[in-house]
Amino acid sequence: MRRVYVLNGPNLSRLGTREPDVYGSQSFAELTALCEKTGRELGLSVEVRQTDDEAELVRWLHEAADGGIPVVLNPAAFTHYSYALRDAIAQRTAPLIEVHLSNPAAREEFRHTSVVAGVATGTIAGFGMRSYTLALRALADLLDDTPARASAAGGREGA
């Protein structure tokens, strides 16, 4: 099974109690279980982590880069201003999908800017917890499209 990190920034541990009208009523434990279940279905070994500490999140991204580990990342509030996080993501050696429960572009103006989007493989936002399952499916598809797989198929796309 291919190892994947699902990394979460500040306040995500408060899911279910923090602004349920924006972030939903499901808990972080339920999000973790959903990600692990989706990962198993996709043949991925998913490790879910959460921190309120920017430096710890940067260390985890370095760990992922050093290990070639794909990442689903909800940078939370760090999305809008953390150049340290952006620089850590720029060092990635595997796909990284930025994910958000809500749609930042439909919220307060300060949330419209993502300093990490430009160095992520892609962004999925606005689908609640489904954003994570969509991101994991996107990662699984990207990992299936590796050059090694194309070579094994004789270089034919879709073989």
Name the binding residues for substrate: 74, 80, 87, 101-102, 111
Copy the structure tokens of residue 72: 């689903």
Whether 100 sits among the annotated catalytic residues: the reply is yes
Is 23 a known active-site residue? yes
Select which of 5, 100, 112, 132 is catalytic.
100
Tell me, what DSSP letter sits at residue 109? G
- Please tell me the distance from the alpha carbon of residue 5 to that of residue 35, in angstroms, as a whole number: 10
Which residue of the set 5, 23, 81, 83 is catalytic? 23
The two tokens of residue 63 are: 């760990």
DSSP characters over 33-59: HHHHHHHHHHTEEEEEEE-S-HHHHHH
Residues labelled catalytic = 23, 100
